[in-house]
Amino acid sequence: MPTTDGPTVLDDVAVPPRASRLDALLTRLGVTGVLARDGLLAVLVTLLTASMLVVLFEYVLEAEDLTVGPAQSAVLAAATCAQAVPLVLRRTRPILCLGLVVACQVVIIAASPPDLSVGGIPQVIAGYTIGTLLPARRALAVTGAAVPVGVLTAAVTALVSGNGLLLPTANHLVAGVGTYVVSALVGGAVATRRRYVELVRLRAAEVVRTQQANTQAAIFAERSRMARELHDVAAHHLSGLVVQAAAVERQIDSDPEAAKAGTAWIRGQGKETLDSLRLIVGVLRERPGADGHGSGGPGGDGHDAPPPGLGALDGLVRTARALGDTVELVREGRPRELAPIADAAFYRVAQESLSNARQHAPGAAVRMTVRFVEREVSLEVVNGPAAGAVADVPARSARQGMGLVGMGERAHLVGATLTTGATPSGGWRVRLTLPLHHEPVSTVSDAAALLEGGQE
């Protein structure tokens, strides 16, 4: 039979039952098993029953002017004490335990005086256990079946002794309902409350586990975002620094003035790189505002500026041209304002595409096209092949690293589509397309033009 004492399993996490003080005490005493604890209960009930028998024989019978013979007293005492023994099986075999208790009660009724109703504590415990372990209907059926047994025994005993039937049967009917059925109802109520408490504990454990999972997911997402940002900054700025440093190294002896200019450019790019890194790593520092100061007010962080977007592509192209790259920027359509996260995604994809072109196809011309059409905005970066790089295109495709992975993640984050691949000429194409679900009126002049058109 199932019990309510075992641990509850929530998926792969076992939620141990809440131990009471009595459970803790019994565990310290070494009484840990179900049979051992029920056996200890049977011993205690037997001792308590024996004490009650002493009171019965010494005081109650004399007060009620009832007479019990020696043989009858011995049978009554033996049956009453033996009635506690089946409690050892109360949780492992509850129905058998109740049946043995009822059998002992039959002997007790037969040995008791006609006007005396002797009910033992084992009846209450057996009925209560039935209520806690069995479904409500079955528990009431089992305990209800035990009531007529006592009533029938009392009726037969009264007929044999020649006494009246009404009083003994009524007494044992009330006593049977009180000891068996009412105890089962109480046990069912207690079991319901235990299940409710267990459900609350399960829900609490699930909430804790969900919070932990959400926290881990947020940490992983933030780490991925930081990794993408750091990669973009490092790949773009450091690759340019490496190219310019190589040029300066060649010009130190032949053209010192050009080498000095290149060194100044490297210094400027280094400062820009540090500023970009501070902007990214700034999210790891404690942000102002908890004390009432915004980021733009006194005490604000000067590096909390928003990340660049499509409007910063001109500066990105100028930086690439300063490194010796041949870059052409083409804008088509009427520019519209994008969400900040989408605007930053376009900029980072353009930045990574220029870095990849510089690394994998040095010296190749790059054409960057930004198109605004009615329902979408797209960015296309196409570079030609470097000398001797046509045969290396498959190796480049197989060597997609953090750059293409980061661009794909950015596109997925803003709901855009990213397509990359080799061109027929041996170059490389990166295309990012973002659908626009509405046509915003971005300026006051546009709104005025629309109103004027409607009036005409």
Going by C-alpha positions, the residue among 335, 427, 347, 331 that lies closest to residue 384 is 427
Residues 6+ apart with CB under 8 A from 126: 86, 87, 90, 94, 97, 98, 101, 180, 183
Query: Which is it for strands 365-372 and 326-332: parallel, antiparallel or unpaired?
Result: parallel
Terminal alpha carbon distance of the chain: 86
Predicted pLDDT of residue 115: 64
Distance separating alpha carbons of residues 157 and 198, to the nearest angstrom: 47
The answer to whether the CB of 379 falls within 8 A of the CB of 431 is yes
| 223, containing H or E segment | helix 182-233
Helix, strand, coil % over all residues of the chain, rounded to 5: 65, 10, 25
Percent of the chain with pLDDT over 70: 72
- Segments in the chain below pLDDT 50: 1-15, 286-304, 389-401, 438-456
List, for residues 89-108, the tens digit of each pLDDT value: 999 999 999 999 999 988 88
List, for residues 391-443, the tens digit of each pLDDT value: 444 444 434 445 777 788 888 878 899 999 999 988 999 999 999 864 444 43
β-sheet bridge partners, residue 326: 365
**Which long-range contacts (C-beta less than 8 Å, at least 24 apart) are formed by 419-426?**
421/397, 422/393, 422/396, 422/397, 423/382, 423/384, 425/384, 425/385, 426/384, 426/385, 426/389, 426/390, 426/393
